[in-house]
Amino acid sequence: MFDLTGKVAVVTGGSRGLGRADCLTLAKAGADVVVTDILIESDPSIQEAAEHANSPLAQLFASQNVVYSEATSDAIRAMGRRSAAIKMDVTDRDQVHAVFAQIVEQFGSIDILVNNAATLDHVAQIESQSDDFWDRDVLVNLTGAYNCTKAAFPYMRQRNWGRIIYMASVAGTLGGFGQSSYASTKAGVIGLGKSVALEGARFGITANIVAPGIIGTEAFKAGNPKMNDRMVLRTAMRSAGEPEDIAHTITFLVSPEAKYLTGQVITVAGGIDLFTF
Ligand SMILES: NC(=O)c1ccc[n+]([C@@H]2O[C@H](COP(=O)([O-])OP(=O)(O)OC[C@H]3O[C@@H](n4cnc5c(N)ncnc54)[C@H](O)[C@@H]3O)[C@@H](O)[C@H]2O)c1
């Protein structure tokens, strides 16, 4: 229904999970898609990249070959779209600007930006919150989205058209037990997204924020099973969502048809925020 033919999308953190589903779904709708991530299968320094990320989850998935950046890009090309898998760390400001310039040179534009990359592997109550992981979460989840927005915005403004998505979480709107760093960054991207929506409106640029609840990605499944069961039971639907539930929402938000929808937080959470009992 939503036709993204001729649009160039950049997705951060596309090696697995929601980012990967976003890449494939946007391509199905017709977009050319650039998959970016710190983890790229054929990168000889993939283990070092995972170490550098200071993320147990990145180290686990790199060692288990749960990395599909190039595979996703290949699947997109097999659909007849243009695609590339590019190593990019959203926390490296110079690299982000260089990669975005390279994308515009190679693909002609950046029309859609999905700020999906995040770290979500630190759960600790406030007294045990690691200072190191606090800094990491702010740097990746919030500053990373800022870096990518700042790099993409001028290209969108030049063409008077753009769509920017921020991945928040219900942890950012409801708070999260043991998730002070993660939840704070997810609340932060809501402020960032609304501000960008205000500034982008005169240039045909919309910015919206998606707040997923519990989605059954590899990262979610790697979590504590008892905690996961409790979270799923909080949803009205009594089940985790699928990555495509998020990807379809994003496909609508970045479509030409969603031109009057901006600065909104769209919760896709199976009713986790309802009075479930
Ligand atoms: N899965 C859920 O239930 C859920 C719920 C709410 C919000 N979210 C949000 O959705 C997004 C994706 O979640 P997911 O479950 O697929 O997580 P995930 O950990 O599987 O994916 C995150 C991706 O980001 C990449 N990444 C990490 N640090 C990076 C960096 N510095 N630069 C570039 N890439 C980096 C990782 O390599 C990975 O591919 C995140 O923003 C997350 O906070 C997920």
Could you give the domains of the chain? 8-268 (3.40.50.720)
What is the distance in A from the centroid of ligand 1 to the CA of 233? 22
What b-and-e string marks burial along 78-97, b requiring 16 or more CB atoms within 10 Å of the CB?
eeebbbbbbbbbbbebebbe
List the pLDDT tens digit at each of the 277 positions of the chain: 799 999 999 999 999 999 999 999 999 999 999 999 999 999 999 999 999 999 999 999 999 999 999 999 999 999 999 999 999 999 999 999 999 999 999 999 999 999 999 999 999 999 999 999 999 999 999 999 999 999 999 999 999 999 999 999 999 999 999 999 999 999 999 999 999 999 999 999 999 999 999 999 999 999 999 999 999 999 999 999 999 999 999 999 999 999 999 999 999 999 999 998 8
What residue owns the CA closest to ligand 1's atom 30?
A: 89
Place of tokens 């749960």: 66
Determine the pLDDT at residue 277: 86
Token digits for 84? 């590339």
Determine the pLDDT at residue 84: 99
Q: Is the CB of 245 under 6 A from ligand 1?
A: no
Q: Are strands 205-212 and 162-167 parallel, antiparallel or unpaired?
A: parallel
Ligand 1 atom having least distance to the Cα of 218: 20
How far is the C-alpha of 257 from the C-alpha of 29, rounded, in Å?
13
Ligand 1 atom having least distance to the Cα of 246: 10
251 touches 29 (CB < 8 A):
yes
Determine the pLDDT at residue 1: 77
* Pocket mutation for ligand 1, best pick of 39, 113, 120 (most atoms within 8 Å of C-beta): 120
Residue 131 three-state SS: helix
What is the distance in A from the centroid of ligand 1 to the CA of 97? 21
What residue owns the CA closest to ligand 1's atom 11?
A: 116
What residue owns the CA closest to ligand 1's atom 29?
A: 117
Q: Is the CB of 91 under 6 A from ligand 1?
A: yes
Determine the pLDDT at residue 268: 98
Ligand 1 atom having least distance to the Cα of 18: 16
Determine the pLDDT at residue 81: 98
Q: Is the CB of 164 under 6 A from ligand 1?
A: no
How far is the C-alpha of 215 from the C-alpha of 24, rounded, in Å?
17
39 touches 52 (CB < 8 A):
no
Determine the pLDDT at residue 201: 98
